[in-house]
Chain A
Amino acid sequence: MIIPHSKILPRKMLGSLLLPLVIAVNVYLASLAILGGLALIGATGQWSDELAQMVTVQVPPESGVSNKAIEKSLLGVLRDHPAVAQARPIDAAEMESLLAPWLGQSAVIRELPLPQLIDVVIRPEGDIDSLRKRLDAEFPGVEIDDHRQWREQMQDVTAAARLVCLLLVAMISLAAIAVIIFATRASLQSQNELVALLHMIGAHNSFVAGEFQKHFLGVGIIGVLIGLVPVFLTLAAIIYLTGNDPAPWLGRVQFGPGDYLLALTPALSAALITMLTARLTVLRTLADFD
C-alpha cells in the first residue's frame, strides 16, 4: 500500500513524529471499548432472553398443595398448557445442591419448610398471563416467578453498558482529535517559514491545508496500521477463546461479522478523522494570514 505524503512538506515534521503511536493507541483503546461493550451487551441480552423463556412455579408449603397433587394434576396442567414447552420438578437432591453454597451439606436442609419448585420453559410467544390465571384458579397459593425484576435489571445494565461504551469511544475520539490539533499546530509552527514562502509565491490557504492534509493522512494511515496489529491479535484471541470448548465465563460472549466490523470502525475512521482535523486546523489557523 502506498502511503500518501506531501511533496512539499518534510516527511518528518516536529509535532507529528509520535502521532502515529498516539493514533495507534487510540485505535486500539476504541476497538477494545467497542468489543467490551458488545460482549457485555451480548451476554446480558442473551441472559435476559433465556430468563424470558424460563419461569419458576413455586408451591409454598402453606399453599396446601400436596406433593401428590403436584405429581398428579399441577404438572399435568402445566404440560398441557399451550404456553408451556417443558415442565420439570426440582427434586430434593437438586434443591439441596442449589442451597449448599449458602447452607452447606447439612441434614437441616431437609427439615426446612422449603417450597416445591418446578422449572417451566415457556414457548416463544407463549402467554404467561393465561398460565398464571389458570394456576390461580385451580391452585390458589401457587406462584409464578417470571424473573421480570431480574430482566428489567438486565435491560438497565445493557443500556448502561451501551452508554458507557459510547462515552468511552467518544472520549477516546475527542482525546485523539485534541492531540491531532495540537500536533497540526506544532507542525504548522515548525514550518512557519515555508508556509510564509508559499503564501508569498501565491499559494492559496486551501493549497497549504491540502499539503498538511496529505501529510496527516499518511501519518493517520501509519498509526492505523500500527494500531491494527493489537486489534487483530485481540480479535484472534477472542475467536480462539470463544471457539470450541470455551471457558464458562466466555460461553456467553459471541461475536458476529457485524460486531467485528464495528470493532474495526475506529481503525477505518481514524485516518479520515486525522486528515480532516489537520485540514480544518490549518485552514482556521491561516484564516487571518492576510
Chain B
Amino acid sequence: MIRVKNVGLHYAEGPEVLNNISFTLAAGSFHFLTGRCGAGKSTLLRMLYLGHRPSRGVMEMFGRDISQLDASELPEMRRRIGVIFQDFRLVSHLSVFENVALPLAIEGRAEQDYRRDVEELLDWVGLGDKLHHYPELLSGGEQQQVAIARAVVASPQLLLADEPTGSVDAKIGERLLGLLIELNRQGATLLIATHDTGLLERHRHHAGELQLEEGGLLRQLPPVRVKASG
C-alpha cells in the first residue's frame, strides 16, 4: 500500500533531513515510528501526509507514484489520509461538530448528508454531549479526541498520528490509543510517531516499528499482524 524507496528530503537548498529511507507498509498494518527528538519522525510523517514531496527517490501511495502526481491531484490523495497532529490543530472559531465535519465540508457535501454520521462518531469518541462546544473550552484529552474524530471522519485508508498521547495523562492516552487501534482493526493502516517507550512495549505484540536515527531508517521491525487488504 505504501512503498518508500531510497527517499531523501531537503528544504530549499538546505541539507537532507531525511536520507535514503526505504520501507513498506502493508494495507491495514499497524506500526510505531520511533526515534529520538530530531531523528526525523515529524518530517517523515509530514512527507507521508503529503505536506512535502520527496526530493528524491520513489514514494508510492495507493498505487500512485507521488513524485509523478500533478499538484491538482494531491487534494484527492490527501483525502485518503487522516492526520492527528501533535498540537491538534483544531480551528478555534469552529465548534466541535464543525471541526470534525471539516474534511466532509471541503468535499462539498451538504451538512444534512453527514450530520448524523458526525454526531455518531462524536458519540463514539465520547463527545456526544459537546457538539457545540468550542475547542478552548475542552480539556487536552477532549481536544485530542476531536482531532482523532476529524482524522477518521472521512474513513481514510492511512491514519498518521504524531505523539497522540504526548499531551494527555496515561489513562486518557490509553483510551485514545484504544480508539486508534479500533480504527486499525476496521481496516485503516496506522502509523503512530512516539518516543513513549512504555506505550511501545505495551503494544509491541501487535504493532511493527520503524526506527529512525538522524534522518535515516535504522531498522524496520515487521508488524505481527497484517490484514489482507485496506
Tell yes or no: A101 within 8 A of B by CB. Answer: no
B98 adjacent to A201 (CB under 8 Å):
no
Quick one: closest A residue to B90, CB to CB? A197
Smallest CB separation, B75 vs chain A (Å)? 5
Q: Is A207 engaged at the interface, CB distance under 8 Å to the other chain?
A: yes
Partner of B78, one of A7, A8, A202: A202
B79 within 8 A of A: yes
Bound-state Cα–Cα, A25 to B229, Å: 62
Assembly CA distance A203 to B108 (angstroms):
10
**Cβ contact within 8 Å between B83 and A201:** yes
- Chain A proximity of B65: nearest CB distance (Å): 16
With A7-B98, A8-B102: A203-B91 Cβ-Cβ less than 8 Å = no
Q: Which residues of A contact B (CB under 8 A)?
A: 7-8, 10, 193-194, 197-204, 207, 290
For A194, the closest partner residue in chain B by CB is: B91
Q: Which residues of A contact B51 (CB under 8 A)?
A: 200
A-B contact pairs, 22 of them (CB 8 A): A7-B98, A8-B91, A8-B102, A8-B105, A193-B89, A197-B89, A199-B78, A200-B51, A200-B78, A201-B102, A201-B150, A202-B76, A202-B77, A202-B78, A202-B79, A202-B107, A202-B154, A203-B75, A204-B75, A204-B106, A207-B106, A290-B74
**Chain A residues, Cβ within 8 Å of B49:** 200
State the CA gap A201–B75 with chains docked (Å). Answer: 8
* Shortest Cβ-Cβ A-B pairs, 3 listed: A202-B79, A202-B78, A290-B71
The interface centre, meaning the residue of A197, A202, A203 with most chain B CB atoms within 10 A of its CB, is: A202
Report B222 CB to chain A, min CB distance, Å.
29
Q: Is the CB of B98 within 8 A of A202?
A: no
Given A8-B105, A201-B150, output 16 extra A-B contacts at Cβ < 8 Å.
A7-B98, A8-B91, A8-B94, A8-B98, A10-B93, A198-B106, A201-B83, A201-B106, A202-B78, A202-B154, A203-B106, A204-B75, A207-B106, A207-B108, A290-B71, A290-B74
Q: Determine if A202 and B106 form an interchain contact, defined as CB atoms under 8 angstroms apart.
A: yes
Question: What is the CB-to-nearest-CB distance from B43 to chain A, in angstroms, rounded to a whole number?
Answer: 15
- A3 CB to closest chain B CB (Å) equals 18
Max count, chain B CB within 10 A of own CB: residue among A8, A193, A198, A201: A201
Task: Please name the residue on chain A nearest to B111 by beta carbon.
Answer: A7
Given A202-B103, A202-B106, are A197 and B71 also a contact pair (CB < 8 Å)?
A: no
Min Cβ gap B3→A in Å is 21
In the complex, are the beta carbons of A197 and B91 less than 8 A apart? yes
What is the CB-to-nearest-CB distance from B30 to chain A, in angstroms, rounded to a whole number?
22
- Complex interface: chain A residues within 8 A of B76 (CB): 202
Cα–Cα distance between A193 and B108 once the two chains are bound (Å): 21
Enumerate chain A residues within 8 angstroms of B91, measured Cβ to Cβ. Answer: 8, 194, 197
**A7 contacts which of B103, B105, B150 (Cβ < 8 Å)?**
B105
**Closest Cβ of chain A: how far from B110's Cβ, in Å?**
12
Q: How far is the CB of A8 from chain B (nearest CB, A)?
A: 7
Closest-CB distance, A191 to chain B (whole angstroms): 10
Cβ of A202 and Cβ of B75 under 8 Å apart? yes
A255, B45: Cα distance in complex, Å: 67
- Cα A207 to Cα B76 with chains together (Å): 13
Contacting A at CB under 8 A, from B85-130, are 89, 91, 93-94, 98, 102-103, 105-108
List of B residues within 8 angstroms of A8 by Cβ: 91, 94, 98, 102, 105
